[in-house]
Amino acid sequence: MTTSAPASSVLAAVDLALFTTLRLGGPARRLVVVTTARSCVETIRAADAAGEPLLLLAGGSNVVVSDRGFDGTVVRMAATGSHIDDAGVLHAAAGHDWDALVADTVAAGYGGLECLSGIPGSVGATPVQNVGAYGVELSDVLIEVDLYDRRCGVVRTVPVSELGLGYRTSVLKGADTAVVLGVRLALRRDGRSAPIRYPELARALGVELGARVPAALARAAVLTLRRGKGMVLDPADHDTWSAGSFFTNPVLDAAQAAVVLERIRSRVGPQVSVPQVSVPQVSVPQYPDGSGRIKLSAAWLVERAGFTRGYRGPGGRVALSGKHTLALTNRGGAGTEDLLALAREIRDGVAGCFGVTLVPEPVLVNCAL
């Protein structure tokens, strides 16, 4: 006689630092690990019925948990599994490792996800954040998601058009009314990449913008680029003990952008140790978003405000990555408050120099900037 593995397991007083890529965060009063969508729904229903504070956690790659932890139930989504149907649609469970999923699709001869290689975390977090990299966003391939609606107590399928996906955001971000249980994504059945839209990736591949290449080649190039920026998890490399890019690129309307760009030109000049920048022709990375707004490079602003790679925070326990100025990293022995102090210093420094207030990308749990 055989018995199946339990669909959930319960742990008490668990340090959440064990479950975040920053390796930061205090204890949870109770942690429930769920391995099926059904057990996830049942656990959440029970917590909601009891009026229990609830936090959903999966890969822990885009979250900053306070040193106080979470005084309630943390549901860790560990439901995995995926398959590709005859139409080339990928079905994946929310707890599945995202990069493993991308690797599997490329190995199976499908394209479409290769530019999203190396992004840490789980499948269920990708629509919440509308993850993106190297010219591709999840919204380019997402068809629909299965959600547990906590308000109605039902599971429903929601098309991408109802998710309000934008630059690193969705109607799900910052809300606790619904939980992603699974996703369906449209793959390219010819095994070739999406058109290469990102100049850095095009240069790495030696192709023109708009070209398509075998998905495996694009994935390899993306992983190489991400490793060079400390954006592929490596337990031995403290530059990867981060939540990825901590701040989003600011998106401004035309009037706001004009004011900010003039302020940049008035501040960045010969007196600043940036030899390649001159006044009045300051080369400021900027990207029209197609709706009349302009996206500026947060990394460029951070660097020009005086925060260089490797910049150290309180006691040297936290620092900007030595490879990428948008990654705030735990150098060992840090607390969440150390990280937040460095984040505030950078945010305030950029605002003081250029009049732009950077917004954090990760979800902040029981803490704030």
**Pick among 3.40.50.300, 3.20.20.140, 3.40.50.720, 3.90.78.10: CATH of 238-365:** 3.90.78.10
CB crowding 144-179: b at 16 or more within 10 Å, else e = bbbbbebeeeebeebebeebebeebbbbbbeeeebb
**Pick among 3.30.43.10, 3.30.530.20, 3.40.50.10190, 3.40.50.720: CATH of 8-77:** 3.30.43.10
pTM of the predicted model as reported, rounded to 2 decimal places: 0.88
How high is the pLDDT of residue 319? Answer: 98
Q: Using one digit for the tens of pLDDT, what is the confidence trace for 283-334?
A: 788 888 778 889 999 999 999 999 999 999 989 999 999 999 999 999 999 9
- Residue intervals in the chain for CATH 3.90.78.10: 238-365
Question: Max CA-CA distance within the chain?
Answer: 79
Least confident window among 11-15, 231-235, 259-263, 267-271: 267-271
Dihedral of the CA atoms 324, 354, 173, 93 (nearest 10)? -20
How high is the pLDDT of residue 277? Answer: 34
Least confident window among 6-10, 11-15, 339-343: 6-10
What percent of the chain shows pLDDT beyond 90?
85
How high is the pLDDT of residue 4? Answer: 53
Q: Using one digit for the tens of pLDDT, what is the confidence trace for 191-229?
A: 999 999 999 999 999 999 999 999 999 999 999 999 999
Q: Say if domain 82-228 classifies as CATH 3.30.465.10.
A: yes
* Residue 333 · residue 317 · CB < 8 Å: yes
Kindly indicate the confidence band of residue 13, based on its pLDDT and cuts at 50, 70 and 90.
confident
Kindly indicate the confidence band of residue 272, based on its pLDDT and cuts at 50, 70 and 90.
very low
168 included as an active-site residue: yes
> What average pLDDT is seen over the chain?
92
- Residue intervals in the chain for CATH 3.30.465.10: 82-228
Q: Using one digit for the tens of pLDDT, what is the confidence trace for 137-177?
A: 999 999 999 999 999 999 999 999 999 999 999 999 988 89
Residue 274 scores a pLDDT above 70: no
Q: Using one digit for the tens of pLDDT, what is the confidence trace for 92-127?
A: 999 999 999 999 999 999 999 999 999 999 999 999
How high is the pLDDT of residue 11? Answer: 78
Candidates 193, 245, 303, 304; catalytic one: 245
Mean of pLDDT values over 70-93: 97
Q: Using one digit for the tens of pLDDT, what is the confidence trace for 255-265?
A: 998 899 889 88
Q: Which amino acid is at 96?
A: H
How high is the pLDDT of residue 285? Answer: 84
- Extract the tokens encoding 170: 């969705």
Least confident window among 258-262, 331-335, 345-349, 364-368: 258-262
How high is the pLDDT of residue 5? Answer: 57
- Extract the tokens encoding 105: 């699709």
How high is the pLDDT of residue 265? Answer: 84
Candidates 168, 219, 226, 304; catalytic one: 168
How high is the pLDDT of residue 269? Answer: 55
Residue 329 burial (10 A CB sphere; 0-12, 13-18, 19+):
buried
Candidates 114, 144, 303, 361; catalytic one: 361
* Residue 113 · residue 187 · CB < 8 Å: yes
How many of the other CB atoms lie within 10 Å of CB of 31?
23
66 included as an active-site residue: no
SS3 state of residue 213: coil
How high is the pLDDT of residue 282? Answer: 59
266 included as an active-site residue: no
Give the integer Cα–Cα distance in Å for 294 and 247.
16
Q: Under 8 Å CB-to-CB from 141, ≥6 apart: which residues?
A: 112, 113, 185, 186, 187
First and final CA of the chain: distance in angstroms? Answer: 55
How high is the pLDDT of residue 271? Answer: 41
DSSP 81-135: -EEE-TTSEEEEETTSBHHHHHHHHHHTT-BSSGGGTT--SBTTHHHHHT-EETT
Helix 98-107 and helix 215-228, axial crossing angle in degrees, nearest 10? 150
How high is the pLDDT of residue 298? Answer: 96
* Residue 178 · residue 172 · CB < 8 Å: yes
